[in-house]
C-alpha cells in the first residue's frame, strides 16, 4: 500500500469518525430530552405533590434506549472502566463508546466485528488518537506530549517501526527493526540536516551531516568510534582514517612539510 493510499484511508477514517460523533451528540440530546421529560412527568412524592414543586434530581443506575423493535440501541451507565455511554447498531453490536476511565476520557469506534478501530482520548493529560487493524492491533498512534507532536506506525506484531517527532530541535524521523531498535534516523536540527545508520545493537555506524562548514560523512566501528571521515570544507575536501585508539593513520591532503630556509651565499 502506497503512502497516498494510507493517507486516503486515514482521511476516510477521520470522516467516518466525524459522522459518528454527530450521531453521538444526537443521542446525548435524546438522553437530555428524556431526562427533562422524566423530571416533568415522573411521579412525585407526597411533599412534592402538596406544594407542586418538581424534584431537584433524578437518580438511576442505568438508562437504556430501545428502537421500535425493542432492540437496545444506546446504554448509559457504569462499567468496569467508569461511567460509559455506548451506541449499538441494529445487529446488537456496540459501535461507539464514550467513557471516563481512571487515566482520562476515551472515545472508541468499533468495527462490524466488534473490534475497536479508532480510539481517541486524553490519556494521562496527553491527547492521543490510535487507529487499529481489523483484529484490534494498534497500527497508527498520534499524540501531543506538551508541545511535542508524535506519529508512530506499528507492524502486525505491535512493534513500532516508524516514528515522526517534532521537538524544539526540529523534526526527526526514526525507522526501527522488528525488535523496536532504531536503525535509521533522519533529522533537521538547528545545525542542519543529518542521517544516521545504526546496527542491531543501536550503535551508530554511519553518519551523514550537512552543517554550516560543509557536508561530512563519518564511518564508525562496533564501539561507536569514528574510523573514517570524508568532508568538503570551504578550504577544500579532506579525508582521514583512524585506528582503534583514535590515532590518525592516513590523511589527505597530507600536511605540507615546512619549507627549508634558504641560506644566502657567503660573500
Convert the pLDDT of each residue in 178-217 to its tens digit: 999 999 999 999 889 999 999 999 999 999 999 888 999 9
Distance CA 207, CA 218 (A): 5
Residue 200 CB neighbours (<10 A): 9
Given CATH 3.40.50.300, say whether it is the number of domain 10-37+61-134.
no
DSSP annotation string for 25-60: HHHHHHHHHHHHHHHHHS---HHHHHHTPPPS----
Retrieve residue 55's grid coordinates: 424534584
Per-residue pLDDT, 59: 83
Would you kindly state where each structural domain of the chain is located, as residue ranges? 10-37+61-134, 147-187, 191-256
Query: Which residue has better confidence, 39 or 59?
Result: 59
Element (H, E) at 207: strand 204-211
Predicted TM-score of the model (pTM): 0.69
Mean pLDDT of 118-131: 94
- The share of the chain scoring above pLDDT 70, in percent, equals 74
pLDDT of residue 263: 47
- ∠ CA 3-184-10, rounded to 5°: 20
Report d(CA 36, CA 119) in Å as an integer: 31
For the cut 70, the answer to whether the pLDDT of residue 219 exceeds it is: yes
How confident is the model over 56-77, as a mean pLDDT? 89
Grid coordinates standing for 68?
421500535
Instruction: Look at domain 191-256 and name its CATH class.
Output: alpha beta
Q: What percent of the chain has pLDDT over 90?
A: 58
pLDDT at 122 over 50: yes
Of 18-27, 86-95, 166-175, 224-233, give the lowest mean pLDDT range. Answer: 18-27
Mean pLDDT of the chain: 83
Amino acid at each position: 500500500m502506497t503512502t497516498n493510499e494510507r493517507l486516503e484511508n486515514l482521511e476516510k477514517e477521520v470522516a467516518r469518525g466525524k459522522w459518528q460523533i454527530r450521531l453521538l451528540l444526537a443521542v446525548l440530546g435524546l438522553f437530555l430530552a428524556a431526562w427533562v421529560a422524566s423530571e416533568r412527568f415522573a411521579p412525585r412524592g407526597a411533599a412534592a405533590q402538596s406544594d407542586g414543586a418538581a424534584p431537584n434530581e433524578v437518580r438511576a443506575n442505568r438508562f437504556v434506549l430501545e428502537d421500535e423493535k425493542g432492540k437496545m440501541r444506546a446504554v448509559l451507565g457504569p462499567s468496569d472502566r467508569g461511567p460509559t455511554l455506548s451506541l449499538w447498531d441494529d445487529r446488537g453490536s456496540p459501535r461507539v463508546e464514550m467513557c471516563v476511565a481512571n487515566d482520562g476520557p476515551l472515545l472508541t469506534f468499533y468495527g462490524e466485528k466488534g473490534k475497536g478501530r479508532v480510539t481517541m482520548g486524553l490519556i494521562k493529560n496527553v491527547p492521543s488518537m490510535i487507529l487499529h487493524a481489523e483484529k484490534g492491533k494498534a497500527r497508527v498512534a498520534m499524540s501531543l506530549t506538551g508541545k511535542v507532536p508524535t506519529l508512530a506506525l506499528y507492524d502486525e506484531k505491535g512493534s513500532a517501526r516508524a516514528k515522526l517527532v517534532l521537538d524544539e530541535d526540529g523534526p526527526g524521523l526514526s525507522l526501527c527493526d522488528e525488535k523496536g531498535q532504531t536503525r535509521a534516523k533522519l533529522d533537521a536540527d538547528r545545525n542542519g540536516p543529518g542521517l544516521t545508520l545504526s546496527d542491531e545493537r543501536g550503535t551508530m555506524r554511519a553518519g551523514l551531516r550537512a552543517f554550516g562548514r560543509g557536508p561530512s560523512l563519518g564511518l564508525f566501528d562496533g564501539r561507536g568510534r569514528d574510523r573514517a571521515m570524508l568532508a568538503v570544507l570551504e578550504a577544500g575536501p579532506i579525508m582521514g582514517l583512524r585506528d582503534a585508539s583514535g590515532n590518525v593513520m592516513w590523511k589527505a591532503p597530507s600536511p605540507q612539510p615546512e619549507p627549508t630556509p634558504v641560506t644566502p651565499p657567503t660573500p
